[in-house]
Amino acid sequence: MKLIKSKYISFVLLLFISCHEKFLEVPPTGSLLETKLTNKAGIEGALIGAYAILTGRGYDFYSGSTNWFWGSVLGGDSNKGSDFGDQAQMNEVQSYATLKTNSSLAVKYRTSYEGIVRANTVLSLLVKASEPITDADKKRIAGEARFLRGHYYFDLKKIFNNTPFRDENSSGTAVKNNLDLWIKIEADFQFAYENLPETHSDAGRANKWAAGAYLAKTFLYQGKYSQAKAIFEEVIANGKTTGGLKYGLTEKFGDLFHAPTCDNNKESVFAIEAVVSTGDPANANMDFILNYPFRGGPATCCGFNQPSFDLVNSFRTNGDGLPLLEKDEAYNAAYNKEENAVKSDMGLLSTQDFTPDTGNLDARLDHAVGRRGIPYWNWGDHPGAAWIREQSYGGPYAPKKFVYQKGDLVEGNIFRVLTVTGNNYSIIRFADVLLMSAEAEVELGNLEIAKGLVNQVRRRAANPDGFVTRNGKPAAKYVVGLYNSPWTDKAAAREAVRFERKLELSDEGHRFFDLVRWGVAKKALDAYAANEAKNLPIAFGGVKFTSGKSEYQPIPQQEIDIAGADNLKQNGH
């Protein structure tokens, strides 16, 4: 899709400008829709417009489908970073105290619905087609549109819980938010699973197996483990990428986060397709524009999304190369104890001496986190405080996943005006599928099957060819082992699977939603905030998670004002 994505976007955007403010009430209509978009080219262009919203289109730093703030920052993988005054409206979100008037919250909500409007428009146009379209194309176009609609509703469901449902047949009147969205999301992904082809000629489009993975994920989120298991098994055994590659894990973990190795590889189930060659930065990976090291580092801006102490400490391993899973009743983790915590340069200037941690570590740490004294992609060793905006607020670490490398500007992987890249972002990748499948197997009592799935992921992490190196040698003491003892205890197996998701998918937008659906968010995030506050009292002092409220963001007040409080009910805030 990189070759065709921008072809129609400027044209299609004209259709949606007028409905951006009140798209829940006013369906897109008019002569442009009727006369210009009902031929096949117009319908295909409208479909590309529905895909375009995956990037967030630059409407806000937090509006895209990566959910780096809503999933990773809120889940404790990272903190807002930068300093207290920069993007200050997100301080309240990080503190689990989002106001209903938060501007970025409103944009995230509206952007998701814009994606839904665009998907619905495609379905409406398909019915009104002014020229013959083959049955195969009709099924494909409808399947892609319903897949995208399912995705945007899934985003709304996990962030806001209950929001209004509109499909292509909805009228212009206000809709209540009293319907269980899961039923509708299931139906969209089921339709897509049954009607989409296995492959496409264009990269970036959703295929049958992406729909299957998303349908199984939808079942998993609802605790429908048997249904999830059945589809996960099909996806794992028979799934292939849009380009026809059989699903599998890339040989090296680091290959997942930089083009060209991260783009449309065998691990890519469904990704935001990013492209920088069109002249429009909104077609690139816009969501991470804030998330580069500050000052002397790549892009010199803006120091957001700084990995947490808790996340870094999570990568500590024991003598067998396994994670430290023990925690007390209050969720205080063994890896955060002083004797286990990873050594950092907190409080040190880059001119002061520092020796990195010498203990056992999971090798995935140094692909996910920039820490002093360890090579930062091909930019040389991370220098510490010189690349951090304000250590006392955001800590000593820098994000690393999806940060561009030296030479990308010359190679055409960066938009020259803004530092946005052509690095694809995987909404679902195959390792995620394996771990979700393992989760379902644990809940169904199939512990040894779950162990095998987890070990597939860990085996890749243990591959020395994928270690971060300096002068041909591992940059740290990487010790990653497999689970060799039988899994006989369900609670222990459950914890191992959940922790593996934290390690493998860190800073990829999943953690908060995992904690919420597991029912452990209150304990886990209170313990997280208390641990971070030891070093970062400005950001985390007094932060508490409120059960029955903090699991979801408030419905934006402006949407309630438009729809009326009788129609759009607030969700616990």
Tens digit of pLDDT for each residue in 217-226? 999 999 999 9
SS3 state at 478: strand
Q: What is the number of residues in the chain?
A: 573
Pick the residue with more confidence: 407 or 71? Answer: 71
Mean pLDDT score, 428-433: 99
Give the pLDDT confidence score for residue 58 in this predicted structure.
66
Give the pLDDT confidence score for residue 414 in this predicted structure.
55
SS3 state at 320: coil
Can you give the pTM of this predicted structure? 0.93
Q: Are 332 and 527 in contact (CB under 8 A)?
A: yes
Which residues fall within 8 angstroms of residue 572, CB to CB, at 6 or more apart? 548, 549, 551, 552
Which pLDDT band, with edges at 50, 70 and 90, does 72 fall under?
very high
Listed in sequence order, the DSSP H helices in 161-277 are 181-195, 208-221, 225-238
Mean pLDDT score, 277-304: 77
Structure tokens, 351: 């001119």
**Residue 271 amino acid letter:** A
Pick the residue with more confidence: 301 or 327? Answer: 327
* Beta-bridge partner residues of 13: none
Give the pLDDT confidence score for residue 259 in this predicted structure.
74
Structure tokens, 210: 């992406």
**How far apart, in Å, are the Cα atoms of 181 and each of 58, 166, 392, 509?**
27, 10, 42, 21
Among 540, 521, 67, which residue's Cα sits nearest to residue 309?
Answer: 540
Q: Residue 23 domain-assigned?
A: no
Give the pLDDT confidence score for residue 410 in this predicted structure.
52
Give the pLDDT confidence score for residue 16 in this predicted structure.
42
Q: Residue 467 pLDDT > 60, yes or no? A: yes
Give the pLDDT confidence score for residue 195 in this predicted structure.
98
Q: Residue 34 pLDDT > 90, yes or no? A: no
Q: Residue 312 domain-assigned?
A: no
Q: Residue 434 pLDDT > 80, yes or no? A: yes
Cα 283 from Cα 190, distance rounded (Å): 29
Residue-wise DSSP of 278-319: TS-GGGSBGGGTT-S--TTSGGG---EEEEPHHHHHHTBB-T
Among 271, 206, 272, 210, which residue's Cα sits nearest to residue 235?
Answer: 210
Least confident segment among 351-355, 398-402, 447-451, 498-502: 398-402
Q: What is the 3-state secondary structure (H, E, C) of 46-89?
A: HHHHHHHHHHCCCCCCCCCCCCHHHHHHHHCCEEEECCCCCCHH
Q: Residue 5 pLDDT > 50, yes or no? A: no
Cα 77 from Cα 528, distance rounded (Å): 10
SS3 state at 421: strand
Give the pLDDT confidence score for residue 6 in this predicted structure.
41
Mean pLDDT score, 334-339: 98
* Averaged pLDDT of the chain: 90
Least confident segment among 249-258, 410-419, 459-468, 529-538: 410-419
Q: Residue 441 domain-assigned?
A: yes
Q: Are 38 and 130 in contact (CB under 8 A)?
A: yes
Structure tokens, 479: 């010790």
Domains: count for the chain:
1
Pick the residue with more confidence: 300 or 357? Answer: 357
**How far apart, in Å, are the Cα atoms of 196 and each of 206, 212, 549?**
8, 10, 38
Structure tokens, 462: 């243990």
Q: Residue 28 domain-assigned?
A: no
Q: Residue 194 domain-assigned?
A: yes
Pairing of strands 369-370, 398-399: antiparallel
Residue 359 is classified by DSSP as S
Mean pLDDT score, 312-324: 99
Residue 127, exposed/middle/buried by CB under 10 A (0-12, 13-18, 19+)?
exposed
Tell me the CATH number at 81. 1.25.40.390
Percent residues over pLDDT 70 in the chain: 90
| 429: containing domain | 34-292+422-563
Residue 196 is classified by DSSP as S
SS3 state at 128: coil
Q: Residue 340 domain-assigned?
A: no
Give the pLDDT confidence score for residue 147 in this predicted structure.
99
Q: Residue 503 domain-assigned?
A: yes
Q: Residue 58 domain-assigned?
A: yes
Q: Residue 17 pLDDT > 50, yes or no? A: no
Which pLDDT band, with edges at 50, 70 and 90, does 171 fall under?
confident
Structure tokens, 215: 């349908």
Among 104, 128, 125, which residue's Cα sits nearest to residue 56?
Answer: 104
